[in-house]
Structure 1
Amino acid sequence: MRLISNLYSRIHPVSSNYFISTPIFYVNADPHIGHVHTLVVTDALHRLARLKGAEPTMFTTGTDEHGLKIQRAALARGFEPQQFCDNISKRFANLCSTFNIGNTHFIRTTDSSHLIAVQHFWNQLVNNGYIYKSKYSGWYSVSDETFLPSSSIEEKDIDGIKVKISTESGHVLEWFEEENYMFKLSQFSEPLINYYETEKISIKPNIFHQLVVHLIKQGLNDISISRPISRLSWGVPVPSDESQRIYVWLDALVNYLTVAGYPNLSQFWPPDCHVIGKDIIKFHGIYWPAFLLAAKLELPKRIICHSHWTVDGVKMSKSRQNIVDPFNLLQTYSQEWIRYFLLRQAVPHDDGNFSESQMCYFLNMDLADTFGNLLSRCCAPKINLKQIYPKTPDHKHLSQLQADNLIDSLIQLSSKVDSCFSEAHFYDGIDLIMSSLRMANKMVQDSKPWELAKDPEKHEQLYSVIYLAFEALRVVGILMQPVIPQMSTKLLDKLSIPTEERFWSYATPRLLPENSSPERPLNTELESILFNRIR
């Protein structure tokens, strides 16, 4: 039996101060399942950092409330923009609390502190010589809030009418000619390439890192960063020019500075990680670092980019009426079940498929048949006669179990899972965890503890089986805290694991004399059923 102690040195370290963010969500429509996905990925990474010792931490999310799209959406529904934003923003705040998201801050771009930060940031760009005024014309996507270069435009026939659309998003474009303030993005091609190729800033998965580098190498053009008030009244005024409003993406990106106390930045800057969807990679991977370099501020350390969701293999859209409303979903499934499926099923580099039948399949297979089954079997009074977490058995009794593969798996599990989780590859980490649990279930099945319990002379062997099964559950319970925090807490409480022993560094099996544990009673006030099968 190969025993290894102190694998903690292999775990990816985190800084004592940790700052992670979601993008702020645009309030032109109600939350959908994609927003929940972004939130739970970020929340899981935040919980992982705290389990690995990060303290203090900042986890920010919020709502993006300015721009032409909001202005038009409010008007179409008969609301003033502020009232419209208030209503939708509350839905996003409620989404966070309902799904047990542990954000420390919720920012709105209509906050007065944010207006001050945006205007101060604008003045820094002006003072550093990166803003100038010019006449500008081009095809504009209101839905994406951006002008498009000719390389990203195609003509399409819609109901007999030829229109210009964005090849990136498929949204219809409008032609605008106006006088705007421009940002000298063209001056940042070389500095950005240097940052990405030396990985002073990285984007994960690597496919998105390479995409951003490719876009930069194609050449960067100066961009319009203001809109005339005649077209856009709902936005942050340009300092010293009331006739212009600041471009919504410049406004929105500054939110990360606002929550960090800008212009008097706190200990949390620069951010450790931005979590975003692939549709906004250009804004976070090119515009944002260029803005920061122009303002002479440190860049975020990394960006984690995830893909989107289809529904039963079909792209979500209002026209298809297949948008998944997370609040409606909660009428059938708990928030933790939904959370588990999103992290279990999503692959960052490719779109995931949201299917309720598939969700039920994974919940039953993983949480009921594999995870929950192991606990309920080993807590059953006919098997665990004394209702205890046994003391660490002698080496000879462990050897009798012929469980070397399980033990090796548990010894390496925290390091391997950390490598997956730290890159937001939760699906891979969960696969590793479930593999270890299946080994533990097989060890119990092969050992037949229900027969060992009938023979007092075999009780030492019986409790060796229970001990190793409980060690598997304890290790997994610690590692699953970022994924299913409530269920993991319930498990660790049932096993009477002290709160101070639930950090990542404790997620190695206690099999050696120097890290053995004494016998302790189970928490008999708690039931041993973690998850009831969905029928």
Structure 2
Amino acid sequence: MSHGQDPERFCNEVSERFRLLFRSCNISYTDYIRTTELRPRCAVEHFWTVLQSKGLIYKGIYEGWYSTQDESFLTLSKVGDAIDSSGKEIKISLESGHKVEWMEEDNYMFRLSQFQPQLLEWFEGNPRSVQPERFHRIVLQWLQEDLPDLSVSRQRKRLWWGIPVPEDPDQTVYVWLDALDNYLTVVGYPDTHSQWWSSACHVVGKDILKFHAIYWPAFLLAADLPLPQTIYVHSHWTVGGKKMSKSLGNVVDPLDRAQRFTTDGMRYFLLRQGVPDTDCDYDDDKVVKLLNAELTDSLGGLLNRCTATSLNPTQMYPYFCTDFFPSRHAESLEGRATVEDYHMLDCVRALPALVELHYESMYVYKALEAISRCVRQTNGFVQRHAPWKLDRANSRDQKWLNTILHVSLECLRIYGTLLQPIVPEISGKLLSRLGVKQDKMSWAEVNYIFR
């Protein structure tokens, strides 16, 4: 190992860091699986046997350019020239930038080329199979090119860390056939997977798109299993416009930043600024500015205003008065609501459905953008009517003050409910401060209701 450690010990340490990250950052999961467990090994062996029994895996001699870091063979069109740190000319993968070497060895091959027409037909007929659209176009482009059979094993003397090929202990199952099978393992393959597998979706980084959108669907077709509903692809975070790298010293430690900006703060920033289509640049100053603007000043400021004892001495939800805020503008002679106020309410009423759409489509930044826009509108509503200037001794002013606070607090309740998947701690505190009971914090309660 390049780290000078036993592979199992090294992987255990990496795995534990991920577990710590998930615990620290309020990331929950229904299953946490590693390929070193017994259950994935059983699934991989069964899957391999199925493909081999159909004549889709055969023994052959593979030769070509190979990237050890990517664990992948490359065609000539994917290889380029470069100069290493010592000034020596080398060959590299044009996709990853990693060094490649010419290699010849006996391997097991999967008849990937046999499935190229079927893959192309499926992706062309399912334009939402890969999202965002940009990555769907990339997959279609790959399928227009030559798609040679795929080497699905490595000689065990060179790669002993992995699952041995069934009935051939001299070969190790290719890491991407091994790892991808784990999607099936967690839903009970080969015994009880049918209940869940037909609804499978994947969320992957753009650098492993080919494995998920070409190899994996081909394996599934070969095994007569349904293809994923959608493959959601995300781009990368860069620093100073460059990919994070230990050699460059620009790696951002999420645990360190979560301690500095709070877990909710980091979750909000990454999901608010992360755009799936393109790489996004990370900067500490950007984090501070965004959190101050949207969470502290806009959302927090609105909450503090509406729950301040100077405006809301009883700390209760005041009554809503339809005389001052009728269902339609200019419906009442006493109405004080403006056209802008009705526009704000229309936006808030439409917000839950819009946020749900963006959450389900994995465009989380668009959902947060929509919420932030409504928060600004609600702040504008309060600022426009300046309830602190109203005369509480005047019964009509008091009713209008109560109505302003009621509308604002209801808006805050909706924002807090919609933000729970993003900033669970902040949302919980906000909703608790509004007096919302635990059983009323669900999505079903998010409809805008005057009460």
- Taking structure 2 as the reference length, the TM-score comes to 0.94
8 Å CA contact retained: 2:320, 2:402: no
Equivalent residue, structure 2, for 1:419: 357
Q: Could you list the runs of 5+ residues in structure 2 that have no partner in the other structure?
A: 327-334
CA contact (8 A) 2:25 2:258 kept: no
Matched, 1:202 2:129: yes
Which of 268, 273, 278 aligns to 1:340? It is 268
The worse-fitting range, judged by mean Cα deviation, of 330-339 and 432-441 is 330-339
The percentage of aligned residue pairs carrying the same residue is 42
**Cross-structure match for 2:432:** 493
- Relative distance call for 1:330 and 1:161 in structure 2 (3 A) is same
1:383–1:453 Cα contact (<8 Å) kept:
no
CA RMSD of aligned residues (A): 1.5
Once the two structures are superposed, residues 86-143 of structure 1 have per-residue CA deviations (whole angstroms, 9 ceiling, x without a partner) of 1221111111111110111110110011111111110011112210000011111111
Please list the CA deviations of residues 368-401 of structure 1 after superposition, one character each: whole Å capped at 9, or x if unmatched: 1110111100000110122111244325435422
Amino acid of the structure 1 residue aligned with 2:383: Q
**Aligned-partner Cα distance in 1 for 2:248–2:312:** 54
**Is 1:353 paired with 2:281?**
yes
Q: 1:474 aligns with which of 413, 417, 432?
A: 413
Matches within 5 A, 1:9-20: none
1:488-527 aligned within 5 A: 488-511=427-450, 517=451
Alignment of 1:384 onto 2:312: yes
User: In terms of mean alpha carbon deviation, does 387-396 or 144-153 score higher?
Assistant: 387-396
1:223 to 150, 156, 160: 150
Give, in angstroms, the shift of residue 328 of structure 1: 2.2
1:437 Cα offset (Å): 0.8
In the other structure, the counterpart of 2:67 is 141
> What CA deviation, in whole Å up to 9, does each residue of 1:178-199 have, x standing for no partner?
0000000001112112221221
Does residue 19 of structure 2 align to residue 97 of structure 1? no
**Contact 2:324–2:403 (Cα < 8 Å) also in 1:** no
SS in 1 for 2:99: coil
Partners of 1:212 and 1:486 in 2: CA distance: 39
Q: CA deviation at 1:453?
A: 5.6
Contact persistence 1:401–1:465 (CA under 8 A): no
Q: Which has the higher contact order (CA 8 A, sep 6+)?
A: 1
Given that residues 164 and 173 in structure 1 are in contact (C-alpha distance below 8 angstroms), is that contact kept between their aligned partners in structure 2? yes
Question: Partners in 1 of 2:150 and 2:391 — Cα distance?
Answer: 74
The one-letter amino acid of 2:216's match is W
1:248 and 2:175 aligned: yes
Aligned twin of 1:327:
255
Question: Whole-Å Cα distance in 2 between the matches of residues 87 and 214 of structure 1?
Answer: 39
Match of 2:322 in 1: 394
- Alignment partner for residue 126 of structure 1, among 41, 52, 76? 52
State which structure, 1 or 2, has the greater radius of gyration over its C-alpha atoms.
2
Contact 1:131–1:181 (8 Å) recurs in 2: yes
How many residues align? The count is 438
Residue of structure 1 in register with 2:329 after alignment: none
Distance 2:393 2:102 in 1: 84
Q: Equivalent residues in 2 for 1:367-382 (5 A)?
A: 367-382=295-310
Contact preservation (8 Å) 1:257, 1:265: no
What per-residue deviation string (whole Å, max 9, x for no partner) do you get for residues 55-105 of structure 1? xxxxxxxxxxxxxxxxx23xx42x322222112211111111111101111
Note closer, same or farther for the CA distance 1:302–1:283 as it changes in structure 2 (3 Å cut).
Answer: same
Contact 2:58 2:108 in 1 (8 A): yes
How far apart, in 1, do the equivalents of 2:110 and 2:391 lie? Answer: 75
Using a 3 Å threshold, how does the CA distance of structure 1 residues 307 and 81 change in structure 2: closer, same or farther?
same
Alignment of 1:7-86 (within 5 A): 72-73=1-2, 76-77=3-4, 79-86=5-12
Amino acid corresponding to residue 255 of structure 1 in structure 2: N
| One-letter code aligned to 1:459 | Q
Aligned to 2:105: 178
Aligned to 1:115: 41
Q: Which SS does the other structure have where 1:135 is aligned?
A: strand
Please say if residues 258 and 265 of structure 2, whose CA atoms lie closer than 8 Å, have aligned partners that are also in contact: no
The Cα shift of 1:252 comes to 0.5
How far 1:300 moved relative to its partner? 1.2
Cα offsets for 1:202-247 (capped at 9, x unmatched): 1110100111111112132101000011211111000000110000
1:271 CA drift (Å): 4.3
SS of 1:173's equivalent in the other structure is: strand
Aligned-pair distance for 1:200?
Answer: 8.1
**Distance change >3 Å, CA 95–CA 167, structure 1 → 2:** same
How far apart, in 1, do the equivalents of 2:325 and 2:424 lie? 33
Structure 2 Cα separation of the partners of residues 86 and 344 of structure 1: 32
